[in-house]
Amino acid sequence: MNEFESAVRNVGGRMLSMGIDCIQVNVGLKCNQHCAHCHVEASSSRTEMMGWPVMEAVTEIASDLAVPLVDITGGAPELNCNLPGFIEKLKGTGRDVQVRTNLTVLVMPGMERVATFMREHEVRLVASLPCYLEQNVCAQRGTGVYDDSIKAMRLLNSLGYGIDGPSLDLVYNPLGAELPTSQEKLESDYRRELRERFGIEFSRLLTIANMPIGRYRRFLRERGSSEEYTSLLKSSFNKATINGLMCRHQVSVGWDGTLYDCDFNLALALPVNHGAPDHVTRFDADKLICRRIVTGEHCFGCTAGSGSSCAGSLV
């Protein structure tokens, strides 16, 4: 048993699935950005992209299981040319669909129709914006990202996103080697600043801790703060987060159809294990619904402080 599982067991918890309320689908690692904190190390040179047969298999599984939500991520999911067809197929089965967008892709030349398509299909959006200040966003996500993000949010607001249309949630993650501050407090800061500066509205702010893997691990090492950050995560272990951990309520599908407990395990190439089937072509709900989760030291990133998941803080 690893250190994380021992910590969970010591407070009476078990890292077992509690059901599948969401299927998270990583449709590819290609991205128009190259962020310093990216856990999947996405970039414009990545070529891994989900093909149509895997999307069809996922749609069938989502429909059979009647999962309430399919959460699509990447990379920049919009760069997968199969995305519109996938969304149409999923919506046809009555599933709620959410796409994680980096915003800037929506204002790239040639991508003008994407936001309107999302609106027409009532797709919920979760958008990365690690600060309401330009210098902080550009430091983490690249020059010009702030201006394009503002442009994209204005476009989305004009379509009703975050106002009277589908939800537009924003995602905050810290710039340095620290844990996110209070989600509630930060949300009111974001709302005030974005409204006053740009007249921009959004639905909710989700705070997410940086996972010490992928490009962020390198970022920490380069600054000599890798060990310090790992110690912070371990010493901030909060048992109240255990039942809400996203891996206990979802399954993740990689671009090639491999099944993972979460997108972080996907980034680490750690498929579901302990006897559970690890590919969409062998999907077995009975086995997956009670599976034992694959864990590691990185899992302390989800249980630190208020906890962290793709849906924000846990407590």
Q: Using CB under 6 A, list all residues that contact ligand SF4.
A: 31, 33-35, 38, 42, 74-76, 102, 128, 245-247, 261-262, 264-265, 293, 295, 298-299, 302
Strand, coil or helix: 262: coil
- Helix, strand, coil content of the chain in percent (nearest 5): 40, 15, 45
> Based on CB atoms, which residue is closest to ligand SF4, 137 or 246?
246
Q: CB of residue 158 vs ligand SF4: minimum separation in angstroms?
A: 22
**CB neighbours of 42 closer than 8 A, spacing ≥ 6?**
29, 30, 31, 33, 34, 35, 74, 75, 76
Tell me the chain's radius of gyration from C-alpha atoms. 19
Q: CB of residue 39 vs ligand SF4: minimum separation in angstroms?
A: 7
Q: CB of residue 253 vs ligand SF4: minimum separation in angstroms?
A: 14
Closest Cα partner for 98 from 168, 40, 201? 168
Q: CB of residue 33 vs ligand SF4: minimum separation in angstroms?
A: 4
Residue 174 CA to residue 181 CA, distance in Å, equals 9
Q: CB of residue 164 vs ligand SF4: minimum separation in angstroms?
A: 27
How many C-alpha atoms does 39 have within 13 Å on its Cβ side?
21
> Based on CB atoms, which residue is closest to ligand SF4, 8 or 70?
8
Tokens representing 44?
């414009």
Residue 156 CA to residue 129 CA, distance in Å, equals 14
Q: CB of residue 110 vs ligand SF4: minimum separation in angstroms?
A: 18
> Based on CB atoms, which residue is closest to ligand SF4, 179 or 293?
293
Q: CB of residue 92 vs ligand SF4: minimum separation in angstroms?
A: 27
> Based on CB atoms, which residue is closest to ligand SF4, 148 or 261?
261
**CB neighbours of 251 closer than 8 A, spacing ≥ 6?**
20, 23, 24, 259, 260, 261, 272, 288
DSSP-H helix ranges across 3-133: 3-10, 52-65, 83-92, 114-120
> Based on CB atoms, which residue is closest to ligand SF4, 230 or 265?
265
> Based on CB atoms, which residue is closest to ligand SF4, 214 or 257?
214
> Based on CB atoms, which residue is closest to ligand SF4, 31 or 280?
31
Q: CB of residue 310 vs ligand SF4: minimum separation in angstroms?
A: 8
> Based on CB atoms, which residue is closest to ligand SF4, 5 or 201?
5
Residue 146 CA to residue 149 CA, distance in Å, equals 5
Q: Please say whether the beta carbons of 65 and 20 come within 8 A.
A: yes
Residue 117 CA to residue 119 CA, distance in Å, equals 5
Whole-number Cα distances in Å, 64 to 31, 82, 120, 250:
31, 22, 25, 15
